Amino acid sequence: MPVSALSAMATLRRWCVMIPLLLVAALALSAFQAPTADALTMRENKVRDSLSVAKNQKGDPYVYGAAGPNRFDCSGLTQFSYGRAGLYLPRTSDAQYRYVRHIDKSNIRRGDLMFFLNSGGVYHVGIFVGRNNGDAYILHASRPGTVVHRERVWTSQWRAGTLRRR
């Protein structure tokens, strides 16, 4: 067989090995792409929808350990509201705090989560509903004897978290 034919066959063999490797590499890289604008908009819509779900729970009683549909504790309300909007949240406020992306308080938006902390860690969570005259307001299930309601935030010891982008 002529040398040029052997060279051509060797090149063909190399390409037969390279093409599948290149395809696998391209597929792997595509899994690490940043979310598209459409995907981000969908998540933002779901966060907004979670606030609407929570607003529909106003007046439902606080019951320790309850996660809906007609009674809630704080993290049960957030888990229920986000879940109905199509977003996963773990069950407890501490687990939710560890799950979300932490953001600066100045970047919090309607539907994002507010986590309240003391020396023992996270003790409460609610949904940010907005500001009025500089005061932040929360929608939450706060304690026994109350119902899901909107309230002015009572402390500066809180942190913001979001699922708009994880």
pLDDT along the chain (166 residues), means of 10: 58 64 58 64 93 98 96 98 97 98 96 96 97 97 97 97 88
Q: The domain containing residue 132 runs over which residues? A: 37-162
Residues 61, 104 within the same domain:
yes
Q: Are 79 and 125 in contact (CB under 8 A)?
A: no
Q: Given this model, what pLDDT does residue 68 score? A: 94
Q: Given this model, what pLDDT does residue 1 score? A: 58
Residues 16, 90 within the same domain:
no
Residues 107, 124 within the same domain:
yes
Number of domains making up the chain: 2
Q: Is 3 helix (H, G, I), strand (E, B) or coil?
A: helix
Residues 67, 17 within the same domain:
no
Residues 73, 112 within the same domain:
yes
Q: Given this model, what pLDDT does residue 41 score? A: 86
Q: Are 49 and 85 in contact (CB under 8 A)?
A: yes
